[in-house]
Amino acid sequence: MLASIFVIFLFQLVGEMLQKYFELTIPGPVIGLVLLLVALLLHGRYGKSSRGELETGLNRTSDYLLGHLPLLFVPIGVGVVMHISFLEDRLLSVLLVIFIGTVLTVGFTAFVMEKLQTRGGRHDG
């Protein structure tokens, strides 16, 4: 468990360092995600044991962290509520743009995705 936490922190650290060094717009944790995914794929392909202790630990740690993922957005969400007056009289129009735009985007993207998947005859997990 501790080793898996170390691995996750390490990949984030490397991601943050790459982001700062190359001044990328992609956030450090996202770079860490991609690097960890590449490492897992390489390990899965060339590693000796497929079900190592570290892998079990990583599975458990990520399940725990991601199981409570919405909680992690509460502190920043409170910040939005406390600073919402920033928008003054444009608050309602901005909220409407966000609401209509987001709901349409969810629907459009999911609809397109499902149509493309069915056309290719792909299965779902």
Partner 1 sequence: MTDEQKLYSIWVYLQAEPLFWLTLTIGAYLVGDYCYRRSNLFPLLNPVALGIVIVSGVLLIFNIQYERYFDGAKFIHFLLGPATVSLAIPIYRKWDLITANAKPIVTAVILGSIFAVLVTYLLAVFFSLEREIVLSLLPKSVTAPIAMGISELIGGIPSLTAIITIITGIIGAAFGTFTLDLLRVRKMSARGFGIGLASHGIGTARAMSRNETAGVFAAVAMGLSGIVTALIVPLMIFLLDI
Asked if 34 and 12 touch (Cβ cutoff 8 Å), the reply is: no
* Residue count (the chain): 125
Q: Mark out the alpha helices in the chain (DSSP H runs).
A: 2-22, 28-46, 53-67, 74-82, 91-119
| Minimum CB–partner distance for residue 116 and partner 1 (Å) | 4
Asked if 61 and 44 touch (Cβ cutoff 8 Å), the reply is: no
